[in-house]
Each structure stands twice: as structure tokens, then as C-alpha cells.
Structure 1
């Protein structure tokens, strides 16, 4: 029979027992478990790092300000989307490029170098406005702040540039300035409107108070005129009845009292009184019209009457030596407020006199022409003054702008007149006449035009 020997278990290395092998296996399990834990922690750290990178990238992308990180030599290491859009270049094209390449050719590169040097010397941010090139090669002003970056040994390893295009700031400032100026104009117009409203109420009260006594005067004078005619008829009948039998004492008394002269003078006295009362009534009507300056009611207005009243108020009311020639336009009517249009024409006529009388030794002359145009009523006022200087012409309707001496003008008359005409849907233009002097052209829409 063949002797079959059973396999023997491998023998342990000499000096190594089972306990030692168990310890090795246990240690291997611990190392493997630690490796698993470290791998999980590393994955968590990688996830956190990726989230942080995404957060930083999101911040850089959403920034409207330009951001550039450069090394100590000024080479771009990091940038954001705002700079890429401004420069019209991709991020890959910008990385490694010198900061100098961002500047517009008109910008001196020494300003950038000086900015970096001062930031390093001050060890803090330093601001300078630099001119960059946009995607079209046009200059764009950017207000940059450069801040040095340091390593753990406090050595400068680069710079961080943060900038904002100043065009946006300037545009916002300009809009703010325009809004502020509009607010000031509105405030002044409200102040002027309140003054005119108070003056209108005062004038309306005065006109009302004057209207009653003038009515009494007119009524009494007309009655007295009738009584005078009756007394004259009676005295004539008495004289005719007495004839030569009239007593000498009565004749003597009549001569002393100048009865005949009184009877002859009474008609002219009555006529003069009636004319004066009627002229006063006309002035009161004008005051009533002036008291309605601030009203917004619209009605059909005959421009001839408005122009004639404005001439009367300026020329007669202020006793000016002023030759005003008015070419009328019968039937020229507009839809508007008579009081406001009266204010506009009074201002234009007064300004024409002030300009024409400034020359000295020359009689001020103003030629006013009214005419009908399709859908419009056009009125031109041409004076014989020195005209309007070219540098002033574009500013005549601005609030508070005046060429008159201090104390002679507020600079609001033409501005308010322009606003009134604009609210009426019309136009008010200023220009120099080819034959000399200034000319203001007023166009107002005709009813149904």
C-alpha cells in the first residue's frame, strides 16, 4: 500500500507566533479604517473647497466693479467678468498680460507705476483715475484703487486693483444735478406763482372796491347831464318869457355869476367827466384781467386786444418814451388764458424797451407783427436794440439768467414766459434780426388747429 501523507499547515516563521499575526491583522484593519475615514474627510474638504471656489467665482462674476489681481511685476493673475466685458477680451486672453495692456494709448503708463509704488510705500490702498480701452478702443475713465498683497513674511507678492467706471458716477451725478435744478426751478415758479396769486387777489380786491364808486360817478354824471339840459331849457324859456322886462338886478347877478359861461361850459365838463370815468373803468377791467394771471381756464382770446392792453400797461402805465408800432391781425384768436398771455407779452415788451434803451441817445422802437398761419397765430417782436450776444442766445430762457445789472432783473421773466407758452402748446423763440436788434417769435395754436 502506498503511504499517503496528510498536508501539513505552513509553519510560522521562526520566532513568530499566532498572537503576532493577529496583532498585524488588527493593525491592518485599523489602518484601512483610518484610510476610509481620511478619504471621506478629504471628499468633504474637496466639496467645501469647490463650494468656496464657486462662491468666490459667483462674487467675482456678479461684481459690477472691475477687479484685477496682479503679481509684483504687474502681470494679471486673476480678473472678473466686469473687466472682460469692459475690455472686450476673454479671461484666458487677460491672464498673464501686463496691466499696461489695459490702458488706452492716451493714458501715460507712468501713472500706473506711480500708483503701484505709492500703494507699496503707504502699505494701503491708493486711488487714481486711469483711462482704459473698451472693446471698441474708446477711452473709458475708471477710478482705480490699488492695494498691495503680502505673503506670510510680509513681502509684497502682488496688487489688487478695484475700479469703477466714473462715467456711471458722472451720469448719476449729472442726473442728480438736473433733478436738483428742476426742483429749484419748480420751487421758484411756485414762489412766483404764490406771489402772483397774492398780487392777483390784492388787485382783484382793489378793482372791486374801485368798481362801485366808478359806477356811481358814471351814473350820477349821466343824470347830471340830463338835468343840465333840462335846466338850460327852463332858463331859455324864462328869458324868452321875460324878454325886455327882465329885472336889471337879475341881469347884473347873472353877469357876476357868469351863468352864461357856466351853461356853455357844462357840456364839455360833463363829457370830460364821463370820459375820465370810462377810462378809469377800463383800467379797472384791466386790473380784473391781471388778477386772473394764475388761472388755468381756457377760452377764445383775441390776440389783438391782448397785445394792445400789454402795450398800454407797459408804455402808458410806466410812462415810457417808447415808439411801439403794432401791425394788427383782425380775427387772430387762440385758445388760452388771457391773463397769462398778457403776462408773456408785457414781459417781452418790457424786455424790448430795456434792450433798446440801453444804447443811449436812440429812441427805443418796437415793431410788433401778428399774422395768421395754418393752425397757428404768429406774433413777432423786433426791437432796435443791440441784439443778443451769440454766447448768450442759448441761455436767455434759463431761470435766473439775466444780462441786466444787479437789482434790475431777476432772470425769471423769460423763463416763466417760456413755461406759460409751452403749457399753451405754443413756441417761444429768440434770435437776432438780419437788420439788427433782437426778435422774439411767439407761436400759439389757433382754435381747432
Structure 2
């Protein structure tokens, strides 16, 4: 089969050719080409070019995506470095600075360009040189943490807590170190201010303890005056009687010394009632001694109560301390107060008897205040020892404590009393005193009404051990 082909030459002429079978004849030249192979080759070339172009387009798109992601990552890291308040220094193994953050620039007053390639040791004061000079060697063994250094600031040294770690390349080779420091100047100022505030608070607490103690003493004045008045009254009366008896005895002895007649001696003895005087002398002296001892005990109790917190702990029995606390507080309370005791004797603890007495007086006073509206106030006091702990419970028969107030009752300045009737410090101070003695002070409502305050203190066994 023959195909005639008319082709245009480059010079504008035309040439004729024909195809016969698989042979192409052009311009009468007997050049023979395999036409199907040539066509297939060109198609393959075109396909390869299309594939290459598509690959180039795809690679360009991926490259643009990766370039955008890289830019985002760079912006992200830059924003992190810029927002860091801690100081960041990246160095090589020689200590030359390779990168810093804005926090370091702000503290030192130097730009990043001024800091690059500069030895990082120059950023710290002379007092810190011994430490920073050894960083390059130390990080080969372990990271450096919380190293206190002085950074050269704009106008004055700035204390920083510095951490230093090793930096490795992608092959795992040590190429430098990273220093991260936190300025602690403001922290130091805050710590000093906190320490000063704590000292002032402790002073204020001590003053409050004394103020509360003086308030307690004020509430006791009436009761103590009553207690002192009785023994002083009969001491005063006994002394007057002894004075009269002394005059009579002096007169009688003088007469006997002059050796008057026996009849006159008997008459004068009867007239001066010498026999009665002799019978009264012993009771008068005994009563006077008893009154003096009662005054001494009252004064000793007052001195013990008002003593400060200084000094070592001493062993004492809780029962007489509790008795004095109830006795003194009740003297200033209602006359109809009924107190039921259930206490084993003895109950020995170690501590300051005056402070424990202050705690017990406060609990009794609060119990009386809670029963102020009752016609017949009643107080129950129980105690015992369990598992090395001496415990005392003071229960009143008042309205009890509101559930919401139970969790706040020992907070300073918290009170449910009317304004002017309480400072809200008594229970807070009592709580602190019991804690200082290694014990606990707790409050709860009794199932049958009223509030119960429980004091727990470490006991002291008869042999002296705790």
C-alpha cells in the first residue's frame, strides 16, 4: 500500500514523497526510517517532559509549603525568645556568644550585635568569674543547676539563678552550651519584704497574746478581788484581836513580875480573861496562817498566769490549774453556775502552767458567754488519759456552734459576739498555745445540745518520761 506525502521544504518549494509499506520516501531521497518507532519515541519524550514538569510544579509547591512552615517556625521561635523573661545565652565551647534573647539585651543594655562573638564570662561580675570559668568543663559531666551569679546590669549587678546545659549537633557531637538564667532581684526584694512582714506579724502576735491576756486579767478582777477580800478580812480581824490580847497579856505578865498577892493575881487573871485568851491564841494564829497561805496561792496563781512565754517547760498537774481557771472565771459570772467535774487525779503534762491556764480560762469564759441567757447555767468538765495523751473537755449547754462557723472558729478576729463584746482572738491564741505544747484544740457540737471544746496534750508518766 502506497501513501503519497507532500511536504514543504525550507526554501518554500515542495517535495513529494510516498510511503510504501514501512518505507518513507521524501524528495526522491532513499532515506529509510521506521516511522512507528520515531512516533513512539517522541510520545515518550513528551510524556517524560510532562512528568518532569509536573514533578517540578509539585516540588515547587512542596518547597513553598516547607518554606512557609520554616518561616512560621522561625517566627514562632523568635516570638518565644522575645517573650521570655529569663535570660538566654547560646555559646560555643570556647564561650563565644552565638545567640541571645531580648531579656538579656534589656538587662545589660547591649544589643544582640554587640553581644555576638563576645565571651559570655564578660557578662558577669568579678565575684562570679570563678564559677563561670568552669562551666565549659563542668557541663561535660552533668548539667549545672541553680547557680547564683551576678549579671552586669545597666546600672547595677543583677542577681540571677543560672542553669547551664550541653548543646549537641545532629551527629551527637558536643558543640557548645546553653545558659538560662532567671533574674531574682525582685524575688530577693519580695523575700526581704516577706521576712520583714513575718517578723512584724510575730511581734504583733506576741502583742496580741499579751493584750488578750490583759483582757482576761481584766475579766478576773472582780473574782480575784473577792478571793483576796475574804482572807484579808479575817487576817485583819485576827490581827486586831491579837493586838488587844497582847495588851492584856502584857499587863498581866507585868503584874506577875511584880509578885503581887496571889488573890490579886487570880482576880486580875479573871478580869483580863487570860485563860480565854490562851485558848483563842492557837485558833487565831492558825486562821491567820491559813489566810496568808490563801493570799499567797492567789498571788502565785496570778504570777504564773501572767508570766511570759520564755523559759523551759515544767511538769505540772492539770487538775489544780483547771480548778483555778474555773474558780476565777466563775467569780465574775453568774452565781447560779453549776459545774460538774469528772477528772482522774493526777493528770500530768509538761509545759507552761500559766499558758494552759489561759487556754482553760478562755474556754470556760466562752462557755459562760454562750449560756448568758440561761437561768441555770450548767458546765460539764471531763478529762482522762488515753494513749499517751491527756485530754480535757469543756461542755456548755448553750445553743451550740453553727456548722458554717465550726471551720472558722479558730481563725484570728473571727467572733460571733456583738461588736465590743469580743475581739475574736481568744480561741486563735488558745489554738496556738496548745499547738506549741504539741497538742490539739478541737471544737464540736454535742449530740444533746451545747458546744464541746477538747484540749489534747502529751502526757507525762509517773517516771518522768513522756
TM-score (norm 1): 0.48
Larger radius of gyration: 2
TM-score normalised to structure 2 length: 0.47
